[in-house]
Amino acid sequence: MSNTNETGLQEPCNITYSRSTIPLTTVYGLVMVFGFPANLLTLILSMLKIRRKNVLSVYLFTLSLSDLAYLCTIPNWITYVQSANKWNQSPLSCKITGYIFFNNLYISILLLCCISVDRCLVVLYPIEAQWRRRRRTAVVVCLAIWMLVMVIHTPVFILSGVQSTEKKNDSCFETFPMPPLVAKFNYARFCVGFCVPLCILACSNFLIFRRIQSSPCLNPSQKAKVKYLAVAVILIFLICFTPYHAILLSRAVAYSILDNSCEFEQKIYTASTAFLCLCTVNSAINPFLYMFSSESVRQELKRDLRILLCLPVPQESATDSYTFRNGPGSRVSSCRREEMTSLQ
């Protein structure tokens, strides 16, 4: 039976969330506990490395800043889940929370692409990248990404308000069935916001891995590290973002081909809520994947900790000292730069 009204639009669905909230609140809580200090430390470390003219750290700084903004809204998400997906706060806080979520999601995806492409360029074209990579360019790219994503998601302020009807009580940024504009927007988000970045990540990390495998500067264990890092980047991206975008696509398709999509929406609602939560895990993993996995960063942390504890600091080699002062953007040989970049 069709649930369309006289205007041709589908009537609101009675979607309820009756599953246990403990797993979701646990994940949100763990993401906040581990993600907030990790991103805060990454923010500080990347800021210091930016002062040493490290271009890659510009993207890491921006990524951590975006993740921190989102992590500050996690208490709202926990409250929302614990209230069976009923928004008990003000409509304005709903709009701001939804807006920050969507912005962080796609700012993170695009910045992850920038990080992979930047590393790829340094590995493939070490000499050219030495002169053409500039902090100013990285800053412009980051600002452009922020502005682009924020402008595109401005309609969230209109579409993410608290929905309260006889059939759906006080949900935030969830409209069932979705409006026609949202359905079209979801097609674009899946193709442009997910598929294209996934292809960029996969290609850039494959090129890095292939080039490093033929490098005479790296031993087998170092090459294996590059391989595992490249695989981890792709796997984490797939695990965190694929389920959510698959749900977005399925909802858009269901709206387009079904006269009554309410039954379908009810069936996938629990999965949709869980996959949305899964997206947040990326905010906690990013610092460990891109910053704390770096050998040079670990050495700097150990050095600073020994200084703080008034312990003797091991003598640095000339190469390590030069890298510490100037960052991986320093003038080094092509072979040495390839090795340094692979281990960052």
The residues near 315 (Cβ < 8 Å, ≥ 6 apart) are: none
CATH of the domain at 274: 1.20.1070.10
d(C-alpha 187, C-alpha 195), whole Å = 11
In a domain, 155, yes or no: yes
Residue type, 79: T
In a domain, 149, yes or no: yes
Look at residue 3 in the predicted model and tell me its pLDDT.
Answer: 47
Predicted confidence band at 21 (pLDDT cuts at 50, 70, 90)?
confident
Look at residue 305 in the predicted model and tell me its pLDDT.
Answer: 59
Do 170 and 164 meet the contact criterion of CB atoms below 8 Å apart?
A: yes
In a domain, 311, yes or no: yes
Structure tokens at 46: 């990347």
Predicted confidence band at 224 (pLDDT cuts at 50, 70, 90)?
confident
Predicted confidence band at 157 (pLDDT cuts at 50, 70, 90)?
low
pLDDT digits (tens, 9 = 90+) for 51-70: 878 888 899 999 999 999 99
Closest CA to 57 of 230, 290, 288: 290
Do 294 and 343 meet the contact criterion of CB atoms below 8 Å apart?
A: yes
- Please state, as a whole number, how many other Cβ atoms lie within 10 Å of the Cβ of residue 341: 23
Predicted confidence band at 327 (pLDDT cuts at 50, 70, 90)?
very low
Tell me the Cα Rg of the chain: 23
CA distances from 113 to 53, 82, 135, 201, 253 (A): 21, 34, 17, 6, 27
CA distances from 63 to 58, 91, 286 (A): 9, 28, 8
In a domain, 209, yes or no: yes
d(C-alpha 310, C-alpha 304), whole Å = 10
d(C-alpha 6, C-alpha 236), whole Å = 46
In a domain, 128, yes or no: yes
pLDDT digits (tens, 9 = 90+) for 209-218: 888 887 777 7
Do 97 and 316 meet the contact criterion of CB atoms below 8 Å apart?
A: no
Do 150 and 70 meet the contact criterion of CB atoms below 8 Å apart?
A: no
In a domain, 14, yes or no: no
Look at residue 344 in the predicted model and tell me its pLDDT.
Answer: 54
d(C-alpha 186, C-alpha 202), whole Å = 22
Structural domain boundaries enclosing 156? 22-161+171-342
d(C-alpha 130, C-alpha 116), whole Å = 16
Which tops the pLDDT comparison, 15 or 220? 220
Percent of the chain with pLDDT over 90: 33
User: What residue has token string 């050219």?
Assistant: 128
In a domain, 236, yes or no: yes
pLDDT digits (tens, 9 = 90+) for 244-272: 999 999 999 988 887 777 888 888 888 88
Q: ∠ at Cα 295 (115, 116), nearest 5°? A: 10
DSSP code at position 227:
H
Average pLDDT, the chain: 79
- Please state, as a whole number, how many other Cβ atoms lie within 10 Å of the Cβ of residue 229: 19
Look at residue 213 in the predicted model and tell me its pLDDT.
Answer: 81
Q: What is the pTM of this model?
A: 0.84
Considering its fold, how many domains does the chain have in total? 1
Do 284 and 29 meet the contact criterion of CB atoms below 8 Å apart?
A: no
DSSP code at position 331:
-
Angle of the 220-257 helix axis to the 91-124 helix axis, nearest 10: 140
In a domain, 125, yes or no: yes
